[in-house]
Amino acid sequence: MKKIAVLITMIAIVFTQSFTVFAEATTAPTQQSIQELVRNVVEEMIEQENEDFRIAKLIDEINQSVVAVIGRNKTYRQQDYIYSKMPNNLQHGSGVIVSSNGQIITNNHVVKDMEEIYVVMYDGNAYRAQLLYSDDEIDLALIKINKDNLKPVELESVDNVKVGNTVIAIGTPLYFSYRNSASRGIISGLNRPVDQTYTYLQTDASINPGNSGGPLINMEGRLVGINTLGYMYYSGMNFAIPVENVSYFLEHYKQFGRIKRCYTGIQFEENWAAMLGIPTTQGLRVVTLRNDAVVSSSEIQEGDMLEAIDGIRTSSIAAYNEILKKHLPGDEVTLTFSREDKSFDIKVILKERP
């Protein structure tokens, strides 16, 4: 009845507008034109209703792959106001199923130093979880529960992740009773250097404490990121680990049981523009060479600038790490340096980070 009342109201508005136009115009609107306006109103209402239904169905389907993660930790965030009030020093976060045999990905900071890890499914069933692998630098962890025939989330192709894509963040914000809360937004930006390690997706979908480790999903129901952090005092400034890094983490674990990071043994520093997030073409300044560096002191000296790796510019530490992430130890790459007004290339074999 409510929808019918709305429709009648919309039609009344259309007729009112039509007669207003008629009063000001020299020719009256035809019956056909009025019917066309009414038809457009009805079609728009049906389209909106279908869109709402599609989103609700999508969330319901994805929720089967979303879990809440909870455990006891006596040392983590003892001074934090929110977590210090939790009974028995419990802390919680979110996660998403990535394999049918019970593997779940979450943030490393969600499970770090947890004495016991429990996973609560959408249906309310709880399972003890085992930590398979975690990496502090990329802030991801893989845990597993003893249950089969689960519904894993599908990972989106990196090429399909665009600014403006509508996304939904699902997780357990603030309190455990808020499990499987969903918020809608868009991808606001790509390759955001939140820290000097890796780059992130930026979204205005709401991400609060407890959302960490939960999925950021597009309208096709595929994973585009893992919700990780937000700025507490700024609205709509939230960040997720991009699906590219999630794939990197999972593929390395599957092949090697850990992340095999590449290493040059060269210590760099960013220029001030990169630190402030200002677009720059300036490279990374060489600070020092370690004893096991892939180049010698006769080739590279302090103050030289690393401009590119295999032709891809290195304007920040995050960009440098993103390039190395695409390689494995033992790969040969070309490092492009500059010294004063001269540029030169050095071919090196990447090592594995100690």
pLDDT band for position 12 (50/70/90)?
low
- Residue 134 to residue 298: CA distance in whole angstroms: 39
pLDDT band for position 230 (50/70/90)?
confident
Radius of gyration of the chain (CA): 26
CATH 2.40.10.10 holds for 155-256: yes
Q: What is the DSSP string of 101-145?
A: TSEEEE-HHHHTT-SEEEEE-TTS-EEEEEEEEEETTTTEEEEEE
Catalytically annotated residue among 65, 92, 134, 139: 139
Is residue 212 among the annotated active site residues? yes
| Better-scored residue on pLDDT, 148 or 3 | 148
pLDDT of 45 higher than 60: yes
349 sits in which H/E element = strand 342-349
- In this structure, of 91-95, 161-165, 173-177, the range with the lowest mean pLDDT score is 173-177
pLDDT of 32 higher than 90: no
Enumerate residues 6+ apart whose C-beta is below 8 A from 321. 197, 198
Measured over the CA atoms of residue 140, residue 123, residue 89 and residue 103, the dihedral's sign is negative
Q: What is the pLDDT of residue 6?
A: 52
Mean pLDDT along residues 68-72: 91
**How many C-beta neighbours within 10 Å does residue 324 have?**
20
**Are the C-beta atoms of residues 104 and 97 closer than 8 Å to each other?**
yes
What φ, ψ does residue 147 adopt, rounded to 5°? -155, 135
- Residue 311 to residue 318: CA distance in whole angstroms: 16
Mean pLDDT along residues 312-337: 93
CATH number for the segment(s) 63-145 = 2.40.10.10
Domain 262-352 class, CATH top level? mainly beta
Catalytically annotated residue among 92, 109, 206, 304: 109
Is residue 109 among the annotated active site residues? yes
Enumerate residues 6+ apart whose C-beta is below 8 A from 302. 286, 287, 288
Identical fold for domains 63-145 and 262-352, yes or no, is no
pLDDT of 260 higher than 90: yes
pLDDT of 286 higher than 70: yes
* Structure tokens given for 230: 């937000």
* Structure tokens given for 95: 């996660």
The whole-chain average pLDDT of the chain stands at 85
pLDDT band for position 51 (50/70/90)?
confident
| pTM as predicted | 0.80
Is residue 148 among the annotated active site residues? no
| Domain ranges, ordered by start, for the chain | 2-61, 63-145, 155-256, 262-352
Enumerate residues 6+ apart whose C-beta is below 8 A from 100. 148, 149, 150, 151, 152
Q: What is the pLDDT of residue 90?
A: 80
Highest mean pLDDT among 52-61, 194-203, 221-230, 267-276: 221-230
- Residue 338 to residue 5: CA distance in whole angstroms: 71
pLDDT of 7 higher than 80: no
Catalytically annotated residue among 65, 94, 181, 212: 212
